[in-house]
Structure 1
Amino acid sequence: MVSDVIERSERFQGILGRLSAKSIDDYYNPYRLFEWPDRLPEDMWWMSPELTTTHGTEVAQRLGPEQAHALSRYESINFYSLNVHGIRELLVEVVNRIHTAGFEAPSEFFHHFIGEENEHMWFFAEFCLRYGNGRIYRQPAGAAVTPAASAAVENLLVFARIMIFEELVDHYNSTMAADERLHETIRAINRIHHQDESRHIAFGRELVQLLFAEVRKTATEEELESISSYLQRYMTHSFESLYHPQVYRDAGLDDPHGVRRQLLASPARARAEEQTFRKTAKFLRKTGILR
């Protein structure tokens, strides 16, 4: 039982207590925290250029300064749109487990998690609606979950996906929060999200380790290989969601679907994905989840 594994882990119990206390101490009102200018300057970066999907590619070399700034603007809107959709999905999964059998111990922290993620979804959506021409980019269908062999495997996959998504986003947040080339409004939302996500990631890693320990007791080699393969595909799918053809169309690039195919095939994409998930992949390999 999940609850037995969690209850026996004094380390996890201590982490839950500290993270819940930190959530209370760091609490803020997002509806009062941010200043929203009527408009943001268009002749500057809206995303760190090193994070844009064209960075280090032939496509980037063809862009003039104005189009490069426009691309970063729409890439920014897509990144926050990805957050809105990703947060909605993870909230559903956590709400489905709060105060249920097996998840009694982390339920108090789940309350903080749900409240914080709901507020994150609000300010990311607010940014898109204010500065993205009143819209949130649609996202491609997610990586389908292979029918789990057991409830234990399903729980592991759910929280591993949440952890992967949060670590992807946090890589971008931490970079943009410190980038003085960006407008302060952009830096502020990335900074506050990074502050909260550091707690969520710490929680997620501990929970995923415990869930995997439970799965490992009874899983076959074939099942462990399937879990590893699925999560590797999920990381790639999540990263490739940043490569949105509508972004390239809005930035005025010809043949946006062709641009996406070219960028996905570029060695720069592979390097960027590896760098983004460097810490995540190291953790998953160390625990034996990725094989």
Structure 2
Amino acid sequence: MSSEVIDRSARFQGILGRLSAKSIDDYYNPYRLFEWPEQLPEAMWWMSPELTTTHGTELADSLGTEQLQKLSRFESINFYSLNVHGIRELLIEVVNRIHTKGFETPSEFFHHFIGEENEHMWFFAEFCLRYGDGKIYRQPAGAGAAAPSAKLESLLVFARIMIFEELVDHYNSAMAADERLHETIRAINRIHHQDESRHIAFGRELVQLLYQDVKSTATEAELDEISGYLRRYMTHSFESLYHPQVYRDAGLADPYEVRRTLLASPARVVAEAQTFRKTTKFLEKTGIIR
């Protein structure tokens, strides 16, 4: 590693110490924290309407409030289902690296990260199973994209984790503060946002370090490949919110055509840009995406 990377690594150690201490101070027992009502009213917003996939589209204009609220219920279940799947995948990647060569420094924080993410996965799954007709939506086939090369694997893994967490946190922070939502919904978003703020701070520091290490030996073509891959991954992640089964469960005709129409809408472009506004600014500032 270059001296610059070593200096930043020393800074990283200080940040990890503070984040680990914060994890200990903020520790809670999720199995006792949440109150789970027997049922939630169906005639309400289950997700902030501005975050739903139909917001700002002609389809939303054609649907009444009752149907939009019904749609928001299934969209919320899909959002929490994506959390379950995304957390499972990131846990596998982090567990595979804890206490291994090259990850000695962050391993202590990895323990906090793994414990917290496991608990997040539990309460998101619990919400889906209790209030989503006992199901967790599966991700559509063909979701992933192949990594450019094995030597870039760790950088891309932690960049994907960071992107996923920043997408989720954009929704969490909005819904935690939305008084139109039921307190149970606000509570799970609020507690997740509290933990994710630490995970995002950690992820950004680690991704920068990994990128500096890769950049020291990578070709321009490889750096371009990283940039293109992460831009595609952000779009893929956002498009996972547009699930045809959601539209079918909400009673919309021709759910695959609904998805195609919504993905082609100018409102989708605006929503994706807003969701990843901070993420894109960070990745462009660090040079990771060009």
Matching of residue 187 in structure 1 with residue 186 in structure 2 = yes
Cα deviation, residue 207, structure 1: 0.4
Residue 56 of structure 1 aligns with which residue? Answer: 56
Residue 128 of structure 1 aligns with which residue? Answer: 128
Matching of residue 101 in structure 1 with residue 132 in structure 2 = no
Contact 1:6 1:210 in 2 (8 A): no
Identity rate, percent: 83
Output the CA distance in 1 between the equivalents of 2:282 and 2:43: 39
Question: Structure 1, unaligned stretches of length 5 or more?
Answer: none
Output the CA distance in 2 between the equivalents of 1:98 and 1:137: 29
Note closer, same or farther for the CA distance 1:8–1:252 as it changes in structure 2 (3 Å cut).
Answer: closer
Residue 73 of structure 1 aligns with which residue? Answer: 73
- SS of corresponding position for 2:11: helix
Amino acid at match of 1:217: S
- SS of corresponding position for 1:54: coil
Residue 82 of structure 1 aligns with which residue? Answer: 82
Contact 2:148 2:225 in 1 (8 A): no
Residue 219 of structure 2 aligns with which residue? Answer: 220
Output the CA distance in 2 between the equivalents of 1:46 and 1:84: 18
Cα deviation, residue 142, structure 1: 3.0
Output the CA distance in 1 between the equivalents of 2:259 and 2:103: 41
- After superposition, the C-alpha distances for 1:88-144 in whole angstroms (9 at most, x for unaligned) are 000000000000000001000000000000000000000000000000000024322
Residue 200 of structure 1 aligns with which residue? Answer: 199
Q: Which moved more, 1:140-149 or 1:155-164?
A: 140-149
- SS of corresponding position for 1:60: helix
Cα deviation, residue 147, structure 1: 4.3
Note closer, same or farther for the CA distance 1:285–1:8 as it changes in structure 2 (3 Å cut).
Answer: closer
Contact 1:5 1:214 in 2 (8 A): yes
Output the CA distance in 2 between the equivalents of 1:244 and 1:43: 21
- SS of corresponding position for 1:97: coil
Cα deviation, residue 62, structure 1: 1.0
Number of aligned pairs?
288
Contact 1:6 1:105 in 2 (8 A): no
Amino acid at match of 1:287: T
Contact 2:147 2:153 in 1 (8 A): no
Cα deviation, residue 232, structure 1: 0.3
Output the CA distance in 2 between the equivalents of 1:220 and 1:268: 37
> How is 1:1-291 mapped onto 2 (pairs within 5 angstroms)?
5=5, 9-140=9-140, 141-150=142-151, 153-291=152-290
Note closer, same or farther for the CA distance 1:11–1:234 as it changes in structure 2 (3 Å cut).
Answer: same
Q: Which moved more, 1:132-141 or 1:227-236?
A: 132-141
Contact 1:7 1:105 in 2 (8 A): no
Cα deviation, residue 5, structure 1: 4.4
- SS of corresponding position for 2:172: helix
Amino acid at match of 2:192: H
Question: Structure 2, unaligned stretches of length 5 or more?
Answer: none
TM-score normalised over the length of structure 1: 0.97
Amino acid at match of 1:179: D
Amino acid at match of 1:122: W
Output the CA distance in 1 between the equivalents of 2:129 and 2:35: 15
Q: Give the CA RMSD over aligned residues.
A: 1.4
